[in-house]
Structure 1
Amino acid sequence: MASAGGSKSKMDYSTAILERKKAPNRLMADDAEGGVAVDNSTAALSEATMAELNIFSGSLVTLRGKRRRETVCYAHKDESCPHGCLRLSRGVRCNLRVRLGDIVTVNPCPDIKNAKKVQIRPLDDSVKGISGDLFESYLKPYFKDAMRPVKKGDRFLVRGQHAVEFKVEETEPEECVVVANDTEVYYDSGNPVKREDEEHLDGPGYEDVGGVRKQLAQIRELVELPLRHPKLFQTLGVKPPKGILLYGPPGTGKTLLARAIAAESGAHFIVVNGPKIMSGMAGESEENLRKVFAEADAKAPSIIFMDEIDSIAPNRDMTHGEVERRIVSQLLTLMDGLRPRAQVIVIGATNRPNSLDPALRRFGRFDRELDIGVPDELGRLEILRIHTKDMPLADDVDLERVGKDTHGFVGADLASLCSEAAMQCIREKLDIIDIENDTIDVEILNSLTVCMDHLKFAMEITKPSALRETGIVEVPKVSWDDIGGLDDVKRELQETVQYPVEHPEMFEIFGMSPSRGVLFYGPPGCGKTMMAKAIAKECKANFISIKGPELLTMWFGESESNIRNLFDKARQSAPCILFFDELDSIAVKRGNSVGGAGGTSDRVLNQLLTEMDGINAKKTVFVIGATNRPDIIDPALLRPGRLDQLIYIPLPDASSRLEIFRANLRKAPMSRHVDLPAMAESTAGFSGADIKEICQRACKLAVRELVQKSTLVGKALAMKGAELSVDHFKSAMKHARKSVSDLDVIKYDFFRQKFSGGISEEEAPAPEPPVGQLKSVADQYVGSVAD
């Protein structure tokens, strides 16, 4: 037996690039308020940290934060600063694009020249309502005798009677300079910097992308390593990748990921889309594409991002336009013409990868293909934290619970959910907000807090975008309490569907995968659809209801494509329940279909079998079929591994019929003389749909009486005290009829016996209906019809 201490955990190299390498000069950003560093020119470190980095108090240091942002500060000693930390003012943290707790790289700064000229502009929102000469009252006192270091692009805050924020627009002779007393400071007060333009320039960073940890590691390997360290590839004698294809459902963050890579790597970023390239003039579209690649080569390192690349480079065999074919050929030529170490990378994004031209997807063009799929529970929690980081949340907000209950949501859906929760919070305050007023009271703004109820409301009206095209049920409202009886059926469903969703680890113990399919069969109107909705609600799974005929079309191959797309969406939205109502319409025994077009039903069934075999064990997708014709369903669909759980939904017994009466009449005012148990006893052999028809007919009779009475005494007086009486139900029962014959019941019973038999020592043949019994029931049935 191996010793416990001898085993070592294997390192996950797939995400190694995301791990921060430890170094003495990588310090954690801490708050400077109350410490030594209280302005935009200083950074405070402990004496031990300064000695370790060979930095002296008062010397200049270069600070590097996120997105390759740098600035220059004076180092100051602060004994209260913890070892391994760096205290920075809010302004310096903003210039470095870091938050408290983020890592900042500190290096000794070489000699910096004094500035000859510096151009400074204020930010528009900070000077709003302020009059006077800001240069004399703010900038001159700030820079006089201070020898402040500045870098082009930095913003700094000057406190006076009001706090005013400025931006360094230009510096001479270098980007990093020290503003001395002889420096010419140009102040442009007539053209302030717009705050929204500044925020737009920042762009998204890695911290703004959630739920794609492994994909982020892969794309950083493929983009940052060739751009920053091309010698790695030269040493190994291989060519760095030229192209990356990101594919996945809409809203998963493909475009955001590409923009974050560009912002963090500092590469020149060029966005290419269809309308930008396409032109009606012959040859102009190809010329536009050549200009893009020429610009990228001239401004390398560069990233060319082709959003919705399937619109630019479709499959040439499938397109009829000559322009599209020429553009694809030009793109292939340009990607082949990229020099191996040109430091230009092409990133394409699409949600239809199979519609791209195959020639683009070979090595040397789009070398890598990354699946940006629907995030799992941990990924959804990460995305929720990103979207709520600036949102005032109440103490009762449980983001982990929200992440668990939002199966199938992509990043865009979660952003919409957070936005809707905030809107609901605002709606609750509209009674005290004066919309006509230009300003809102500070107390109202401070009282705005998003609570768990707001998020629950948002979850009810926000649906996964992947399921909006399909027949998704809003939210199944049916629970087990609404279904009377059928305890064995409920237990079987819980074991088949609910347990794998809630307790997957228990199945892993035994090394077996759970069942993936259930077939409900039984007489019509007995609650097969209702049962499927109830289990979906109990395990909080997405629920897609499909009527069999909805999948069939007149076009060759389109019915099979509908099946494929349906299962693709279900996998993306796992855990998901696919409910096929009237399954017999698309799963009839092969060879028995009468339809033309080469046996459409046979091809649809073959596709259905293929998709069910292809359901990944890690993707909790369940298929539930419902039929009242189990005898015509193809046996291949009923074998173990497909629809292996056959559940018979019988006609309701007396207690179930009573529950059905109560469920249908729960909102109806009834006379206390109405005896529901007696009605349940007298409706033996009736299905749930038959009982509902009795209740509807009784209601119709009551409404008829009200209309007649209202003509005599008026509508208001007639409706007062209206209720369903015993007479209404007696009249309704006279017209009641059974929709399921005794012959049908016998056939279902024998079918149930055939598929519920076990293995005995003496293998008995499958039971068959006694001919005499069938003939007797058939004679009675024909006689009743003749009467």
Structure 2
Amino acid sequence: MAATNSLDGLEPTLIRDGRFDLKLRLDLPNQAEREAILTSMLKTGSHAAPAIAEISRRTPGWSPARLRALIDRAILQAGGRPVTDDDILAALEESGGKDRPQVEAVNWDDVVLPGPVISDIKAILRLLVPGTAEQLRVPAPTGLVLVGQPGTGKTLVARLIASQAMRSFYAITPSDVLSGVVGGSVKRLAEVFARAREHAPSILFFDEMDALFPAVTGYGSQHDIQLVEQALIEISELRSEHQVFLIGTTNDLSRIDPRILRGGRFSEKIEIGLPDVEGYRRLLEMTFGPTQLASDLTTPRLVEMVRGLSPAEITAVVTAAKRFALARTPEQATALLPIEERDVEQAIARIR
């Protein structure tokens, strides 16, 4: 008798007839089977059938061993008293969403966004809390596309959502999947989706969707075609109970394969535009920080000078302006001379 996770990975001569004649496949339990397993594990105590059904619905792809670990966590949380349905649901809430190796924490103070955009994001975050959409009877969002010109902070907004939602986070960029052979790219995409389901609730972030899933106009490369087809398969297999939220960024929606955006998987679209006057003021205060400015270089004047630049460009302008001021600062000085208007003018000319 032997066991394996992959029959295809074994030496054929090892499993030929006469050695291992009988092969029995044990698949992961479906929802009804998970419900039966949980009922068996919880045969002691009083547990409501609707609660067990809810747990089984929210654990697709879970093995019996993982279900057992969930119950053990609930027992530990109960601290010696009889385990309740609330204990199990609480353990379920804490069982995922912690796989965030790629996320640097981003707070609301770190981003500069117009009021309506902040309201939209906070509404989405509220509905991402497990159980909130069902309680309020508001359809939960399935995905979000952030649209805007380069440098407006779309990636930072995605990291903000990941930080605030406290979900596992997986980023997929063109360099991750477009640099290898076709088969390797498709495998990498499938693996990331599988990991997102396993460590749910989670967020899958597609940076530069127009490069990852380009709209085919005329002849399309075999690589692009297979990658888009695999993405369509993976996205279509996601269900609400998987708790995988999709976020994508693009400069131009028309450059994305329309099949990716159809079907409601990216139910929300938010445009991240250039800052308003207040946004520019906050950006300048954040980027200049404690750096001293010349007395005639006021904040309103600075806002007027940088109007039309993206946040990324403003960061570059401030860095360049400090370097121009450094060039004027004597070598023996212990502090940077104040930033003058000409420093900012030269910096803007350099980055444009």
TM-score bucket of the superposed structures, by smaller chain: 0.7 to 0.9
1:501 Cα deviation (Å)? 2.6
Number of residue-to-residue matches in the alignment? 311
- CA distance 1:506–1:625, shift in 2 (3 Å): closer
User: What is the CA-CA distance between 1:621 and the residue it aligns to?
Assistant: 1.1
What TM-score, normalized by structure 1, do the two folds share?
A: 0.36
- Provide, for residues 55-108 of structure 1, a one-character-per-residue CA deviation record: whole Å limited to 9, x for no partner: xxxxxxxxxxxxxxxxxxxxxxxxxxxxxxxxxxxxxxxxxxxxxxxxxxxxxx
Say if 1:631 and 1:501 are closer, same or farther in 2 by CA, change over 3 A. closer
Q: Does the 8 Å contact 2:328/2:337 carry over to 1?
A: no
2:105 corresponds in structure 1 to: 477
Query: C-alpha offsets along residues 730-754 of structure 1, whole Å, 9 cap, x if unaligned?
Result: 32323415989xxxxxxxxxxxxxx
Contact 1:698 1:732 in 2 (8 A): yes
Aligned to 2:286: 663
Q: For the aligned residues, what is the CA RMSD?
A: 3.7
Unmatched 5+ residue regions in structure 1? 1-292, 294-303, 337-358, 390-399, 410-463, 741-787
Q: Is contact 1:473-1:545 (8 Å) kept?
A: yes
Match of 1:520, SS? strand
- The alpha carbon displacement at 1:723 in A equals 3.6
Determine if contact 1:513/1:617 at 8 Å carries over to the other structure.
no
Equivalence for 1:326: 13
Say whether residues 1:507 and 2:134 are aligned partners.
yes
- The letter of the residue matching 2:205 is F
Match of 1:726 in 2: 339
CA distance in 1, matches of 2:63, 2:167: 23
Aligned to 1:619: 242
Q: 2:215 aligns with which of 576, 586, 589?
A: 589
Q: CA deviation at 1:699?
A: 2.3
Counterpart CA distance in 1 for 2:75 and 2:319 is: 48
1:629 aligns to 2:252 (yes or no) = yes
Shift of 1:625: 0.7
Q: Superposed, which structure 2 residues align to 1:25-44 within 5 Å? A: none
Task: Indicate the residue corresponding to 1:572 in structure 2.
Answer: 198
Write the mapping of 1:105-254 to structure 2, written as runs, cut at 5 A: none
Aligned to 1:430: none
The residue correspondences of 1:681-760 to structure 2 (distance < 5 A) are 681-705=304-328, 709-710=330-331, 713=332, 718-719=333-334, 722-723=335-336, 725-727=338-340, 730-737=342-349
Q: Secondary structure at the match of 1:494?
A: helix
Task: Give the drift of 1:542.
Answer: 2.0
What residue number does 2:96 align with? 407
Distance change >3 Å, CA 402–CA 547, structure 1 → 2: same
Residue 174 (structure 1) aligns with: none
Alignment of structure 1 residues 404-443 onto 2, 5 Å: 407-408=96-97
Inter-partner Cα distance in structure 2 for 1:539 and 1:527 = 18
- Amino acid of the structure 1 residue aligned with 2:348: A
Residues 1:491 and 2:119 aligned together: yes
Q: Does 2:71 correspond to 1:382?
A: no
Residues of 2 paired with 1:679 and 1:373: CA distance?
Answer: 61
Identity fraction in percent: 23
Deviation at 1:631, TM superposition (A): 2.3
Query: What secondary structure, in the 3-state scheme, does the structure 2 residue paired with 1:625 have?
Result: strand
Deviation at 1:654, TM superposition (A): 1.6
Which of 188, 191, 209 aligns to 1:562? It is 188
Amino acid paired to 2:343? S
**Deviation per CA, 1:569-594, whole angstroms, max 9, x where unpaired?**
11112121111111111211135454
Contact 2:149/2:273 (<8 A) preserved: yes
- Aligned counterparts of 1:328 and 1:551: Cα–Cα separation in 2: 35
Cα-to-partner distance string for 1:728-779 (whole Å, 9 max, x where unaligned): x532323415989xxxxxxxxxxxxxxxxxxxxxxxxxxxxxxxxxxxxxxx
How far apart, in 1, do the equivalents of 2:309 and 2:300 lie?
14
* Letter aligned with residue 245 of structure 2: F
> CA 1:680 to 1:477, structure 2 compared with 1: closer, same or farther past 3 Å?
farther
Measure the CA separation in 2 of the matches of 1:531 and 1:553.
26
What amino acid does structure 1 have at the position aligned with 2:342? K
CA shift, 1:486, in A, is: 1.9
With over 3 angstroms needed to count, the CA separation of the structure-2 counterparts of 1:642 and 1:524, relative to structure 1, is same
- One-letter code aligned to 1:382: A
Residues 325 and 337, structure 2, Cα contact 8 Å, conserved in 1: yes
8 A contact 1:686–1:738 mirrored in 2: no
Q: Is the 8 A contact 1:485 1:655 kept in 2?
A: no
SS at match of 2:241: coil
**Within 5 Å, which residues of 2 pair with 1:257-276?**
none
Partner of 2:228: 605
Q: Which residue of 2 aligns with 1:676?
A: 299
Relative contact order higher in (CA < 8 Å, ≥ 6 apart) = 2
- Is contact 1:549–1:586 with CA below 8 Å preserved after alignment? no
Separation of aligned partners in 2, 1:487 and 1:376: 46
2:132 pairs with 1:519? no
State the 1:630 CA deviation: 2.1
SS at match of 1:557: helix
Aligned to 2:276: 653
Whole-angstrom distance in 1 between the partners of 2:114 and 2:241: 30
Distance 2:131 2:20 in 1: 49
TM-score of the aligned structures, taking structure 2 as reference length: 0.74
Output the CA distance in 2 between the equivalents of 1:507 and 1:670.
52
Residue 723 and residue 675 in structure 1: after superposition, are their counterparts in 2 closer, same or farther (change >3 A)?
A: farther
Residue 703 of structure 1, CA deviation: 3.8
Distance in 1, matches of 2:114 and 2:229, equals 33
Counterpart for residue 156 of structure 2: 530
* Cα drift, residue 406 of structure 1: 6.4
| CA offset digits 1:606-628 (Å, max 9, x no partner) | 22122222112112211111111
Could you tell me how far apart the structure 1 residues matched to 2:19 and 2:273 are? 66
| SS, match of residue 239 in structure 2 | coil
Q: Deviations over 1:401-451 (max 9, x none)?
A: 998566345xxxxxxxxxxxxxxxxxxxxxxxxxxxxxxxxxxxxxxxxxx
| Structure 1 residue 681 displacement after superposition | 2.5
Secondary structure, aligned partner of 1:477: coil
Flag the 1:649–1:572 CA change in 2: closer, same or farther, 3 A.
same
Asked if 1 retains the 8 angstrom alpha-carbon contact of 2:146 and 2:269, the reply is yes
Cα–Cα, structure 1 residues 513 and 486, in superposed 2: closer, same or farther, change >3 Å?
A: same
CA contact (8 A) 1:522 1:627 kept: yes
Check conservation: 1:583, 1:625, Cα contact below 8 A. Answer: yes
Shift in Å, 1:653: 1.7
The answer (yes or no) to whether the contact 2:93–2:130 under 8 Å persists in 1 is no
| Residues 294-373 of structure 1 mapped to structure 2, 5 A cutoff | 306=3, 309-310=4-5, 314-315=7-8, 324-329=11-16, 333=19, 336=22, 359-361=23-25, 371-372=63-64
d(CA) in 2 for partners of 1:373, 1:641: 34
Deviations 1:702-738 (A, max 9, x none): 44445xx33xx4xxxx32xx145132x5323234159
CA 1:505/1:657 → structure 2, altered by over 3 Å: closer, same or farther? closer
